[in-house]
Chain A
């Protein structure tokens, strides 16, 4: 877990640097796709709960180094978002592109809403309501557009989903899924 955490932290730093530099090339209407959200969403479909939570926390924490605001804001929002994803993963299998699009859009929206709420709570200037709503929706749309390609790219070809494997394992060993306990 320590190795995973360090790797995730370094990857998070690299991701944050990429977001702050290269992603400007694909900026559209002052909105960029959220790579950290995308990474956590894709990872949630291929690894277990603990890792997803840790990944979300570490990615958010490393992003906090570069982004403005208080340290921990991204970590907080991403962790909550990962928890939300973990809850939905028990009911939704992201096996087709529609589900992937939907999950990415919802998770990006959740992250945006949480981040805005946190910003307001910490008494940062939130900006106009129109701007907030526009940014959340456009960012979510943009991120969700990258969802299916990211799922396809990161997952190995013809590899079944983690959830599917887990379900199969649970059925074969006649155990009750842990989330249902």
Chain B
């Protein structure tokens, strides 16, 4: 813990993953067989559009993965400060107003009044039963009934115009960057981008970015004065919750893969390369693990974790740390249930590769097994690994929601779309219906999963030419 910085387990793994991706990028840049498919990805319109959206999610997730203790930052010299239990992230700091402006209980999106009637004391001392004003949402309006619509419209327009202007500025920067390498200079670059003629579909990327920025700035503008997506039972801003859930969703989707990759790659290649009893043993292991229904294995493991945690309650400094460990554990156990598919694929592929002439030649020259695997087999199965990782991601994000519903997902105190849906589900019976938490979680999840699905299709097509014809 340096300078108040808190590194949670999952944070560390996120940055490790980032390092991995960076290293892979550097490695792939020098290899034509890996660079070529990526070129196809960025030349596809769907590819660049989804990349823009995914980068937004990743950016929020990364900002949300830098944690620190606010009390330490505020006063690092305080000697007698008690062990602070509050840990916030850089992202929390960025959206501080969203986090701090808590209402009493439910309120609808953009509402100025609470959702339920309460007894309000009038200046004269009499009590009336009415919807009380919100403490923050629309508090600047003198007469909400009259001014509300105009104010929302005005703020929306400001937000949209800001987004548009920002997009135009970015577009011009792009033209300027492209200009030196284009025949027509700045105008030529602009023409190429706007007509969509270039090799890289900049136009699609710009349109997506423009829409994203407009929605984003619209949301920023409105959530400065209102609760854009309403508030939940304890009055927390739902928009804030949905944004915070991004990190959880991304972590489940990526950490699980990170955890399972070493085992899947190592065992898969070993089974296919060595065959014989090694193959039998590995096949036996994954068939056994695979036959246990995944949900039940996860349930059993989470039950055990709960017991462990309640027996060792004093080992955890803060709620955040506890929730974080549970998230990590969930990723690990999800990894255990999901590595078998990749392992089987890799086994088959390395079995084929073992028969290929250049591997046989290497064997004949007396090259060691380890070197053959690292030099000849591993590079040739990397595309399978990549395709699987990308394909699995969206399924894992969806799985998180289902697991949280069964109470074997992430910690109930952690922000996640699954938890949001789970708590919203109970409110569907209310009259009028509290629908906004559900809708917020669904929209955020749907956008991420849809982009990931489309992106993974593009990646798969680029890396696996055999499948291209059948799409």
| Chains A and B bind each other | no
B residues near A (Cβ < 8 Å) are none
